[in-house]
Structure 1
Amino acid sequence: MSDHALLSPSSAHRWLQCTPSAVLEESFANQSSSAAEEGTAAHALCEYKIKKAIGERCTKPVSEADTAEMQECSDAYAEFVLERYEQAKVRCRDPLLLIEQKVDFSAYVKDGFGTADCIIVSDNTLQIIDFKYGQGVLVDAYENPQMKCYALGALEMYNALYDIKEVVMTIFQPRRDNVSGYTLSVAELLTWAERVLKPKAEQAIRGKGEFAAGDWCRFCRAKAVCRKRAEENMRLAELEFKPPSLLNDREIEDVLKTLPMLTKWAEDVFSYAAEAAIHHGKEWRGFKVVEGRSIRKYKDETAVIAQAQSHGYTDIFQTRLISMTAMQKLMGKKKFEEILGGLISKSPGKLTLVPETDKRIQVNRLSVNNEFKQEEI
């Protein structure tokens, strides 16, 4: 078995919606990113802290990506997992806690395997807990196909040893203050596996089916040159040339829903074209590679200080209070509130329009308007 699954759980959201994408993106290089490296480091730290807490032998990971924030987030995740494990002990005499556990769900997906962040197995309940260190995309546990795949693999391993009736799936995303949960029965999970996962996987493994564009394109390696994605975004772009006042309500709603996807597509196409031109000599008609604005910086700050002072310039230093985020990282959330809580003010956030799926509470626009009127008096 290779280290890479063509139909991986982490990309299941995409290949279930766009079945040919899995084979298509195999021809594109899988480039690492600072965010991916951060995520890998954070997961290693989480694994170490949990295994150490339960007495398993483990080596503390060392990474240049390690920060005070990563330490805090991994602490919170470890505490969350251990609390769930203690709760499982109350319901079951011998529950299992498995960290970074490899699972095989090839009964439904050819060569299907993956590594689950955390699995807790007990009588009646199977728990799948997934740690998300990223903060760019808010992840929801509801009908999450990645976690369902992990659950299928865990059931294959432990359903004969435990009387499992339900699956509890939890996303723990500390940098977004997001703990999302979803529960389904084992019967519902197996029905989904047979009716949805298995037939879609059979198409995907052969590169068959229809291309489909959507939010699942975000992490596809072929996203910049995918014709289906381009067609969908160009269709939306046609509306951009109309003055907003001439669009009907339905057209405006259509644009609002897909504007982030349209903007991201444009960014992806530009990044692809720029990378090809700058690093591979690709020439695009109507475009050229130029040198950007040069940024000046001191070669040797110590030498600069000495040279300036030797010529009588002494007022060359600045001091300022560190940012609130940096101060909170320095002290930790609890100490920050204890020491500086009374000295912090928080003004109402600027009103903004967001999709109704956003978890923030809707503002009472009538009361807001009244507040503005009172201020104007």
Structure 2
Amino acid sequence: MSSQKVNCAKGTREAGLGHAVLSASGSHRWLNCTPSARLELEFENTTSEAAREGTAAHALCEHKLKKFLKKRSKRPVSDYNSDEMEECTDAYAEFVMEQYEEAKKSCKDPVLLIEQKLDFSCYVPEGFGTGDCIIISDDKLHIIDFKYGQGIFVEAEHNPQMMLYALGALEIYDALYDIKEVAMTIFQPRRENVSTWTIPIEELKAWAEEELKPKARLAYDGEGEYLPGEWCTFCKAAVKCRARAEEKMKLARLEFKMPPLLTDAEIEEVLNVLPDLTKWANEITAYASEAAIHHGKEWNGFKVVEGRSNRKYRDELLVAEAAREHGYTDIYRQTLIPMTEMQKLMGKSTFEEILGDLIYKPPGKPTLVPNTDKRPAMNVTNAENEFDKIMED
């Protein structure tokens, strides 16, 4: 075993004692804004509802893959279990097995690893993580990552988290296999996104030495320049980050002119930053509200009041009984069960046979999005002509 690999193994054991300063999941952030990694340590490490739901989905994925491989596994029980989660995890497990069968065509004994501990501390101080699924064949390494979230569309191309996992897997298997390239797949079923990117290992290692290693050292030491951007989304320090606040306040130079008085270039600039600006404003409001309501913080010019609420029945059974006693019987609404539940009740083929002609999917509401969105552009020529006519009038 090389000295480099010995150092990597040591890094995993040491880092395994606590939370990683430079996590793989946060790499997009600390590679762009290196001092943010240390700054985040000053904030409480909380777990969101979405993160807990994602953890439950990952546990179900692991169970289903083990069952495919005929390994012992106890089905996890979670409050987050749903028809949607069942469908998404089924699709993931089936996709992984399809890739495993594909690997068998060029390799008689490929290896499939589930929830594999990975060490990339040769490049990132105390760097370690867990890969959802890794398939190793004679000349190819395939990293597959399951994303249950639907808020952010995740791309595989140049995805630093996946690249770190690939480096960790190569540390274990590069000497055992003649691996020439690494494929990385993001499987994000709730966004109908299966994104795969392939890179030769020479390019991956060059990136690790030339870009990853020096930036990781800066990030670990808390050095470098603060650089706000879309990577601020999940940063714990984002709500109080001065650099981010200054970036958002640059919009003030537009003097908040009415939209028709802005140039096209100014409108395009605002459109680009508006989603993050709105998110930042909401984060500031949430932070200030939390501090005031739960910690007694007083903000000049603001106060805590009782919000509006809607009336509720204390006991629906007693309400129904009292209403019927006084002659009111038309007090219930009847609605169909959700479509996913109906399909599960009937079975997919029977569902299509009985209800296929009775179901339709209406067109979605036209929405303005960046060009990076995967959906095809609509033909809005007629709408454009109408808009121009209104502006002329």
Q: Secondary structure at the match of 1:257?
A: helix
Q: Partners of 2:130 and 2:85 in 1: how far apart?
A: 21
Q: Secondary structure at the match of 2:41?
A: helix
Question: Given the superposition, is the C-alpha separation of residues 218 and 277 from structure 1 closer, same or farther in structure 2, using an over 3 Å criterion?
Answer: same
Are 2:39 and 2:237, in contact at CA under 8 Å, matched by a contact in 1? yes
Q: Does 1:143 align with 2:158?
A: yes
Q: Partners of 2:295 and 2:146 in 1: how far apart?
A: 37
Q: Partners of 2:128 and 2:308 in 1: how far apart?
A: 48
Q: Which residue of the other structure, out of 209, 213, 226, is the alignment partner of 1:211?
A: 226
After superposition, what is the alpha-carbon deviation per residue over 1:195-221, rounded to whole angstroms, capped at 9, x for unaligned?
A: 111000000001100001111111000
Moved over 6 A (4+): 367-372
Q: Secondary structure at the match of 1:63?
A: coil
Q: Which residue of the other structure, out of 265, 272, 278, is the alignment partner of 1:250?
A: 265
Q: Secondary structure at the match of 1:363?
A: coil
Q: Partners of 2:255 and 2:147 in 1: how far apart?
A: 35
After superposition, what is the alpha-carbon deviation per residue over 1:172-214, rounded to whole angstroms, capped at 9, x for unaligned?
A: 0001111011111101100110011100000000110000111
* 1:356 corresponds to: 371
Question: Given the superposition, is the C-alpha separation of residues 250 and 44 from structure 1 closer, same or farther in structure 2, using an over 3 Å criterion?
Answer: same
TM-score, reference length from structure 1: 0.94
* C-alpha displacement of 1:167: 0.5
* 2:316 corresponds to: 301
* 2:142 corresponds to: 127
Q: Which residue of the other structure, out of 280, 283, 286, is the alignment partner of 1:265?
A: 280
Q: Partners of 2:366 and 2:296 in 1: how far apart?
A: 45
* 2:183 corresponds to: 168
Q: Secondary structure at the match of 2:51?
A: helix
* 1:22 corresponds to: 37
Q: Partners of 2:191 and 2:79 in 1: how far apart?
A: 22
Q: How many residues align?
A: 372
* C-alpha displacement of 1:85: 0.6
Question: Given the superposition, is the C-alpha separation of residues 320 and 273 from structure 1 closer, same or farther in structure 2, using an over 3 Å criterion?
Answer: same
Q: Secondary structure at the match of 2:308?
A: coil
Question: Given the superposition, is the C-alpha separation of residues 162 and 134 from structure 1 closer, same or farther in structure 2, using an over 3 Å criterion?
Answer: same
Q: Does 1:31 align with 2:43?
A: no
Query: Partner letter of residue 59 of structure 1?
Result: K
Q: Partners of 1:189 and 1:365 in 2: how far apart?
A: 42
* C-alpha displacement of 1:333: 5.9
After superposition, what is the alpha-carbon deviation per residue over 1:261-299, rounded to whole angstroms, capped at 9, x for unaligned?
A: 111110111111001011100000010011111332222
Coordinate RMSD, CA, aligned = 2.0
Q: Partners of 2:347 and 2:269 in 1: how far apart?
A: 43
Are 2:60 and 2:76, in contact at CA under 8 Å, matched by a contact in 1? yes
* 1:189 corresponds to: 204
Query: Partner letter of residue 318 of structure 1?
Result: R
Residues 268-283 of structure 1: pairs in structure 2 closer than 5 A? 268-283=283-298
* C-alpha displacement of 1:93: 1.5
Q: Secondary structure at the match of 1:91?
A: coil
Percent of residue pairs bearing the same amino acid type: 65
* C-alpha displacement of 1:157: 0.2
Q: Secondary structure at the match of 2:272?
A: helix
Q: Partners of 1:255 and 1:354 in 2: how far apart?
A: 13
Q: Secondary structure at the match of 1:119?
A: strand
* C-alpha displacement of 1:55: 1.7
After superposition, what is the alpha-carbon deviation per residue over 1:150-170, rounded to whole angstroms, capped at 9, x for unaligned?
A: 000000000011110001000
* C-alpha displacement of 1:300: 1.7
Q: Partners of 2:262 and 2:383 in 1: how far apart?
A: 28
Q: Partners of 1:237 and 1:82 in 2: how far apart?
A: 53
Q: Secondary structure at the match of 1:204?
A: helix
Query: Partner letter of residue 234 of structure 2?
Result: F
TM-score, reference length from structure 2: 0.90
* 1:7 corresponds to: 22
Q: Structure 2: any 5+ residue segments left out of the alignment? A: 1-15, 388-393
Query: Partner letter of residue 260 of structure 1?
Result: P
Q: Partners of 2:238 and 2:345 in 1: how far apart?
A: 39
Q: Does 1:101 align with 2:116?
A: yes
Question: Given the superposition, is the C-alpha separation of residues 361 and 98 from structure 1 closer, same or farther in structure 2, using an over 3 Å criterion?
Answer: same
Q: Structure 1: any 5+ residue segments left out of the alignment? A: 373-377
Q: Secondary structure at the match of 1:164?
A: coil
* 1:375 corresponds to: none
Question: Given the superposition, is the C-alpha separation of residues 245 and 28 from structure 1 closer, same or farther in structure 2, using an over 3 Å criterion?
Answer: same
Q: Partners of 2:46 and 2:29 in 1: how far apart?
A: 18
* C-alpha displacement of 1:99: 0.6
Q: Secondary structure at the match of 2:105?
A: helix
* C-alpha displacement of 1:368: 6.9
Q: Partners of 1:334 and 1:129 in 2: how far apart?
A: 30
